[in-house]
């Protein structure tokens, strides 16, 4: 897992419209980069709606929200349209960026061990340095925690 004070690794992934988006496209702004397991699941929808509801406050603090999951661009397009999500969703089907940031981890569910996305949020400053990490973030609380952090 990447820690605070580390330069956020650059990457290029596909957005919901099939366009390539790089982290460096947002240099000069704070970035709320969140990794989540799957579109249209209860926890992930709750987190996305929280970020959508608070998007105005996040933008006022000079930040943008970017969500990353293994879902396809088509899935992201449907998810964003269904819930009116006003921020960027990026597709990482081979979980390369998710692994690079340390959000791809061993998970245990009902005694079964598997690898998967652990809900994690990074706040990155205008120069590309990680200034806050929310590990094992709560789907319902994380958007509010991020806004509180950005207000400081």
What pLDDT is attached to residue 130?
98
pLDDT in tens, 85-136: 999 999 999 999 999 999 999 998 889 999 999 999 999 999 999 999 999 9
What domains does the chain contain, in order, with CATH numbers? Answer: 12-151 (3.40.30.10)
Q: Catalytic one among 32, 44, 130, 133?
A: 44
Tell me, yes or no, if 44 is annotated catalytic: yes
Task: Name the pTM for this structure.
Answer: 0.97
Q: CA 8 to CA 57: how far, in whole Å?
A: 23
144 neighbors 20 (Cβ within 8 angstroms): no
Using alpha carbons, select from 39, 21, 41 the residue that is nearest to residue 31: 21
CA dist 73 and 19 (Å) reads: 9
Say if residues 32 and 147 touch (Cβ distance below 8 Å).
Answer: no
- Identify the pLDDT of residue 109: 81
Give, in degrees to the nearest 5, the angle at Cα 45 between 78 and 93.
Answer: 60
pLDDT digits (tens, 9 = 90+) for 34-62: 999 999 999 999 999 999 999 999 999 99
Cα 148 from Cα 33, distance rounded (Å)? 16
pLDDT value of residue 108: 86
pLDDT number for residue 4:
98
Running DSSP on this structure, what letter comes out for residue 125? Answer: -
């Amino acid at each position: 897992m990447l820690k605070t004070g580390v330069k956020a690794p650059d990457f290029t992934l596909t957005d919901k419209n099939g366009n390539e988006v790089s982290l460096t496209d947002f240099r000069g702004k704070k970035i709320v980069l969140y990794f989540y397991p799957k579109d249209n699941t209860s926890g992930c929808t709750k987190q996305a709606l929280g970020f959508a509801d608070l998007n105005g406050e996040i933008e006022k603090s000079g930040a943008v929200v970017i969500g990353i999951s293994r879902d396809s661009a088509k899935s992201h397009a449907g998810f964003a349209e269904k819930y009116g999500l006003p921020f960027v969703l990026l597709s990482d089907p081979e979980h390369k960026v998710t692994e690079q940031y340390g959000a791809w981890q061993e998970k245990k569910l009902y005694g079964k061990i598997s690898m998967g996305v652990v809900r994690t949020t990074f706040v990155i400053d205008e120069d590309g340095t990680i200034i806050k990490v929310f590990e094992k973030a709560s789907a319902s609380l994380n958007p509010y925690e991020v806004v509180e952090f950005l207000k400081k």
